[in-house]
Amino acid sequence: MKTIKTSVPFSTKYPIVDVEISNDISSNWDSSKGEISVAGFLVDNEITQFLLINKSKLGEFRNQINDFLSTVTEKQLYAFNIKMETGCFEKLLSKSLVFREIKPKNFRAKGFNKDYCFGYLIKQDIISKDFIWFEDPLKGNGRLCMNCWSAGEFEKVRLHNVCCLLKEAKILQHKDFLEKQLSPFFKEDGWLKDGVSLPPL
């Protein structure tokens, strides 16, 4: 069990939450079975991360997260994909947390993810490509977290989580811009229009 705080050079309006898990749920993507290994919170200008390095400390891990959440309950929590965070926290805390979604509208397409949204903002010169001052050790691939965690490469997973939170903060800040720019490519049901591809990055 470890808690790490990291200052960031900007401030967020709303708390942003992102988790990494240590088990594989890809067979049916049932997030209620996700076992949180890193719970990251970006509040104001500080990231607070809780790392469950030893599962024997699960009770302490749960209590510290509950205590932290009690300090931000007056604020609306945000997550990029609310299904993931909602299910994982419900398993850990045995209660439901309410999140609002960062992901623009209900857009659905192969390759439309956090990294695409962040990359689009960079391409449109909304943010600098140097906004994140270090390289994600996992290159944006969250599926690598499980293997890294089991191999004891905790710092790689933690830094990946920091990158996720930083990206999500800027996507939320510029969500209206993304929706306005990308809406013409999508149908009302959220899927890409027939014969249309996402704008290249």
The reply to whether 113 falls in a domain is: no
Q: 76 lies in which domain range? A: 2-101+128-173
The reply to whether 111 falls in a domain is: no
Which CATH number belongs to the domain containing residue 134 in this structure?
Answer: 3.30.420
Residue 26 has pLDDT above 80, yes or no: yes
Angstrom distance (rounded) from CA 88 to CA 110: 24
The reply to whether 114 falls in a domain is: no
The reply to whether 88 falls in a domain is: yes
Task: Report yes or no: 107 and 186 within 8 Å, Cβ to Cβ.
Answer: yes
The reply to whether 11 falls in a domain is: yes
Which residues fall within 8 angstroms of residue 8, CB to CB, at 6 or more apart? 42, 45, 46, 47, 166, 169
What integer best gives the mean pLDDT of the chain?
Answer: 95
Angstrom distance (rounded) from CA 10 to CA 7: 9
Number of folded domains that form the chain = 1
The reply to whether 192 falls in a domain is: no
Question: What does the pLDDT read at residue 31?
Answer: 95
**Three-class secondary structure assignment of 155-200:** HHHHHHHHHHHHHHHHHHHCHHHHHHHHHHHECCCCEECCCCCCCC
Residue 106 has pLDDT above 90, yes or no: no
Task: Report yes or no: 84 and 34 within 8 Å, Cβ to Cβ.
Answer: yes
Q: Per residue in 143-196, pLDDT tens? A: 999 999 999 999 999 999 999 999 999 999 999 999 999 999 999 999 999 999
Task: Report yes or no: 192 and 186 within 8 Å, Cβ to Cβ.
Answer: yes
